[in-house]
């Protein structure tokens, strides 16, 4: 009897230890995902600053507003530069960690192919759409693009059967409401031409990132997260350069020589290049933590936590572009601060079931 009791006690202790480890791993995943949202806010601010600096300022005055070049080509060039520089950051860090050979080998595996597919959806499609949306609708595009947690949660439920508990659904809804509140600040006064188109592209970005989150979350569960993000950023940068830019140029009946001439000019424009280097670094760090967070705490929860960039994006853009650079149009209205508090409530609801705390108090 004594031996049996000892065995049961040991099994219970082991089960409790495992439960604690799983819980700590889950909580760490939430923190990682939250940090990815913070970094994505910096990325948004730096890539906006880049397009308001140096040669880009001159192009804004010489290129006809509303032209295909202004609406599509130049923002796509900005996205291409950012993703390509981000890929360089990823490769440098991967090499420093001694994982470059693993990177090459993983490309030939099933998880590697999955990551390439995720990059194709989230890079050339979603990222380019997001940058164009920012150029057309300003920071109003940010909360619309941040609807990706809802898309990702639905896809995760359908594809991976990940449970969507009532408190998680409520939290996602609250996060979306907070995003709409922040976005509504851009609806005061005259709405610039192209805003509706920009918002449509922002929603396309949300769909693309929602799908990417599901695909990549599955892929990074099977491979090293550093290898995964390196595949993502490298694939995105290459596809933007050799597919997106040429296709957009041909669709707009433009000249490939002119398009890549702008690319060359942008690469040699030091004032804006500094911001692209910073935006590329922040994009790399943000996506790396987004992928890792999704694999640690689940796609729905990870994407909801990442969605805090709904506030961080406009806020850091206002600080860097509005205040530091003195460019008008990026100030935050009081409702944005209220929305930030609402966003915190939403994240709490997604991450924690209030019923668990209520039941503990009753006990």
Read off the tokens for 22. 């799983």
Give pLDDT, residue 248.
92
Percent of the chain beyond pLDDT 70?
A: 85
Q: Which phi and psi angles does 228 have, rounded to 5°?
A: -60, -45
| pLDDT-based confidence at residue 91 (cuts at 50, 70, 90) | very high
**Which ranges constitute the DSSP H helices of 194-269?**
195-220, 225-239, 245-251, 256-267
* pLDDT tens-digit series, residues 195-240: 778 888 988 998 888 888 777 766 666 788 889 889 989 999 999 9
Pick the closest to residue 278 from 4, 42, 5 (CA basis): 42
User: Rg of the Cα trace of the chain?
Assistant: 22
* pLDDT tens-digit series, residues 277-315: 999 999 999 988 887 887 777 766 777 787 788 788 888
Q: How far apart are CA 287 and CA 298, in angstroms?
A: 15
Q: How far apart are CA 312 and CA 94, in angstroms?
A: 28
The rounded mean pLDDT for the chain is: 83
- pTM for this structure? 0.81
pLDDT at 316 over 90: yes
Read off the tokens for 237. 């940068």
Q: Quick one: how far is CA 173 from the chain centroid?
A: 19
pLDDT at 59 over 80: yes
pLDDT at 362 over 60: no
The secondary structure of residue 186, as a DSSP letter, is G
Pick the closest to residue 232 from 84, 356, 133 (CA basis): 84
Q: Quick one: how far is CA 225 from the chain centroid?
A: 16
Mean per-residue pLDDT, 155-169: 75
> Domain locations in the chain?
35-353
């Amino acid at each position: 009897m004594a031996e049996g009791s000892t065995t049961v006690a040991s099994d219970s202790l082991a089960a409790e230890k495992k439960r604690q480890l799983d819980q700590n791993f889950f909580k760490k995943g939430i923190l990682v995902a939250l940090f990815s949202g913070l970094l994505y806010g910096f990325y948004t601010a730096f890539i906006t600053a880049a397009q308001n600096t140096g040669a880009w300022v001159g192009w804004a005055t010489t290129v006809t507003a509303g032209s295909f070049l202004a609406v599509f080509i130049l923002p796509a060039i900005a996205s291409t530069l950012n993703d390509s520089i981000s890929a360089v950051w990823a490769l440098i860090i991967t090499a420093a960690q001694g994982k470059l050979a693993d990177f090459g080998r993983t490309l030939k595996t099933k998880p590697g192919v999955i990551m390439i597919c995720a990059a194709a959806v989230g890079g050339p499609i979603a990222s380019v759409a997001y940058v164009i949306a920012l150029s057309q609708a300003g920071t109003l595009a940010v909360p619309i693009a941040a609807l990706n947690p809802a898309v990702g949660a639905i896809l995760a439920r359908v594809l991976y059967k990940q449970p969507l508990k009532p408190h998680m659904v409520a939290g996602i809804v609250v996060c979306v409401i907070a995003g709409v509140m922040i976005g509504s600040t851009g609806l005061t006064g005259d709405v610039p031409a192209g805003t509706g188109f920009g918002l449509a592209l922002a929603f396309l970005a949300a769909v693309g990132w929602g799908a990417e989150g599901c695909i990549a979350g599955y892929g990074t569960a099977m491979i090293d997260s550093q290898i995964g993000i390196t595949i993502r950023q490298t694939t995105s940068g290459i596809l933007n350069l050799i597919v997106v830019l040429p296709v957009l140029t041909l669709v707009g009946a433009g000249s490939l020589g002119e398009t890549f001439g702008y690319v060359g000019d942008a690469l040699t424009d030091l004032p804006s290049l500094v911001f692209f280097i910073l935006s590329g670094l922040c994009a790399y760090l943000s996506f790396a933590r987004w992928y890792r967070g999704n694999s640690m705490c689940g796609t729905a929860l990870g994407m909801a936590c990442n969605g805090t960039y709904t506030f961080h994006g406009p806020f850091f853009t206002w600080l860097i572009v509005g205040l530091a650079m003195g460019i008008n149009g990026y100030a935050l209205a009081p409702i944005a601060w209220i929305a930030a508090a609402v966003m915190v409530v939403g994240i709490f609801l997604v991450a924690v079931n209030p019923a668990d705390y209520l039941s503990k108090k009753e006990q």
